[in-house]
Chain A
Amino acid sequence: MAFVFILEQVLNGLLVGAYYLLIALGLSLIFSLGGIVNLAHGAFYAVGAYLAVTLAPRIGFAGAFVASPVLVALLGVTVERLLFRRFYRSDPILSLLLTFGLAMIIEQSLRMIFGAAPLPFSIPPALRGQVFVGDFIYPRYRLIIFGVALAAVTATWFLVYRTAFGRVVRAGVQNPDMVGALGISLQPYMTAIAAIGIGLAGLAGVLLAPISGVHPAMGAEILTAAFVVVVIGGLGSFWGVIAAAALVGVVRGLTIYFFPPAGEASMYLLMALVLLVRPRGLLGERIQKFE
């Protein structure tokens, strides 16, 4: 019987992995392609959730699901144009400070506008319910999150590795001067990357708002986990983030099964282990800029 319970935790851990993947994907993208360590990623996630809560009563959950990531992406464009752009070639510590400040400003603004108390928001009735496989239980909504996370990953992968757009972006990461010499301006590409990365944070916000408390500090709450996933996966690695998210979900589930007080600590322990054995993360590439 114990084996069945453990198997159930492992499978559930993969679902939870999708949850971590959604919050880590955009962070990884902006870091690997823009070189910006975006500490405001959690804050954009919170903005996505608040937009969902504000928009859903007017245009429905489906409408908010589309509109709020787009609006957050537009916010991302603004932030890239005004701020990120100045820091692509500078010491990473500067962008770290910048985004840290940005996170504080956004969180405090949410608190001033909406108050500190969590705002009520639920799974839309049509998406409620559970799916039973044998005796295993899967909430329908988690399966939807899983599907959306898969779709987001596939689309991002296609864009970065299979299109002309992606080729320019990847070339820009390797050698921006050469790209410039070829007569290509990198700026619109970087704007697009920031829009996609920050838009993904907004998407995570909409999707997770029905199953977690919508309050101003919700972004700070998930930011550390998102970073842990990116670091375990390997900075700059696309597949690494996916592997790491699944691994964190499963390891956390098993830790909670055997020793619950260490539930959250397990992911940090995992990170420490990975960094000890393999400093660049599971599938990380060597990035000269940071060595």
Chain B
Amino acid sequence: MAHYDDLTRRMLLKGAAGATALAGLGMPAIVKAQSDVIRIGHLTPITGFLGPLGEFAQMGVQLAAEEINAAGGVLGRKIELVMEDSVNPQTASAKAERLIERDKVAMIIGEISSASALAIGQVANRTKTVFINTGANSDALRGESCNPFMFHIEAANSMMVRSVGTYLKNENMIKGKKWYSLTADYAFGHDLFKVAKKFVSENGGEFIGEELVPTDATDFSPYLLKIRQARPDVVASNLAGNQITNFIKQYAEYGLQFPITGFGFDTAVAWGAGQGNFSGIWPLIWHHMVDTPSSRKYVEAFTKKYGKPPENQSWGDYNSLKIVAQSFDELKSPDPQKLAEHLRKGAKFDILKNREGYFRPYDNQMVQQMYAVRAKEPGKMANQWDIYEPLGSVPGPNEDLEVLAPPKDGTCKIQA
């Protein structure tokens, strides 16, 4: 009898192990459902060095779906999310196809990596399905790689540079100053550094150091020594994801005093740096202290649901789904072709900022306000989320919103 017991116990263990393995095999969060729902694909990196941001993206889009469904859904139908980890460009492309062909999603929201966004954008164009990019910044996606079905609620690198640049000019940190930059050594970093360098040079600054940092670097000390030896006036980060966390922590460890700034930034990586480590002036597409009625409502709902304030990545995915739901309602149809036309016609949307945003038809970039923040003194932080104070928003109240958008240099060839 003992032998028999042992056998069943083993079988049970094996069965449990098998089930665990199966569950991990990348099954979509929701597989099949009735046809009286509108299915939306959400595709973003959940693992890897952009994973922390992808998690906020999922939280944002789930909150939006809940709110939409609680208010009666879209055209009387519920929104159903099909969420996947995009992993890398190849997987992103394959999963985008599967979402469209097999799961019959009405459109796709997501992505953070510029390389993966490019891959999804190509699938979107071929299948004439709208894809709203919520986190990829490369200007090339709005330039030579643009297409009529890829929309960008996320700011382009040049928008990030111009917004934080405005504040750096105000603080006299550019003209006649020596700059030292650390740049993530892949497509995003290269693209960002190119526009950053152009901006700084045009405004009278000079780069005395331009380092490329491999994305798998975890120890920054040799770079910190070089910065210390070069004695720049400003240290600029064009790093990405977890790189920024490691860099900020070790910059504080080495006690370097040169002011820091950065052209690409996400709040989650600074929250993860810890007390007394975060410093500098940084750009953001949105932050949880933006003081408008819709923004306050969103922050409150998010904090209640997840126990922490939203960050900029969750803003993009939340608003994208809201925009799509609103558009379907206005169009009285979930038709992807009509959605693309509608968005390109300049429909305006409340995106939790003072002024409404719209996609401009030239490159499908969302034209909108941008923000900058300054790190708080450690003693003035009320809690672990309270790490910076808002510096304001650009463009100014009387300026055209489009001044920040990438220049219409003719590289994007979408037919009007």
Contacts and interface: CB of A to CB of B under 8 A. Distances in A.
B55 A213 contact: no
A16 B221 contact: yes
A117 B254 contact: no
Interface in B221-263: 221-223, 225-226, 228-229, 242, 245-246, 249-250, 252-255
Contacts of B219: 16, 19, 212, 252
Given A117-B52, A261-B212, A221 B218 contact: yes
Nearest to A256: B222
Contacts of B52: 115-118, 215
Contacts of A260: 211-213, 223
A9 B214 contact: no
A140 to B, nearest CB: 9
Given A117-B56, A264-B216, A122 B274 contact: yes
Contacts of A221: 216, 218, 242
Which of B212, B217, B245, B271 has most A Cβ within 10 Å? B245
Interface residues of B, number: 46
B37 to A, nearest CB: 27
B26 interface: no
Interface residues of A, number: 50
Contacts of B103: none
B385 to A, nearest CB: 10
A5 B227 CA distance: 11
Contacts of A15: 221
A217 B216 CA distance: 11
B54 interface: yes
Contact of A265 (B51, B214, B275, B276): B214
A118 B269 contact: yes
Contacts of B20: 105
B217 A215 contact: no
A141 interface: yes
A169 B46 CA distance: 43
A205 B24 CA distance: 26
Given A13-B222, A115-B55, A260-B213, A212 B272 contact: no
A256 B227 CA distance: 12
A122 B277 contact: yes
A141 B252 CA distance: 11
A137 B254 contact: yes
A80 B134 CA distance: 45
A19 B254 CA distance: 15
Interface string B21-35: 000100000000000
Nearest to A123: B253
A129 interface: yes
A80 B405 CA distance: 58
Contacts of B268: 117-118
Interface of A: 5, 8-9, 12-13, 15-16, 19, 104-105, 108, 111, 115-123, 125, 128-130, 137, 139, 141-142, 210-217, 221-222, 224-225, 252-253, 256-257, 260-261, 263-265
12 contacts: A116-B46, A118-B271, A122-B273, A130-B255, A139-B254, A212-B246, A212-B250, A213-B242, A215-B245, A216-B51, A253-B221, A264-B216
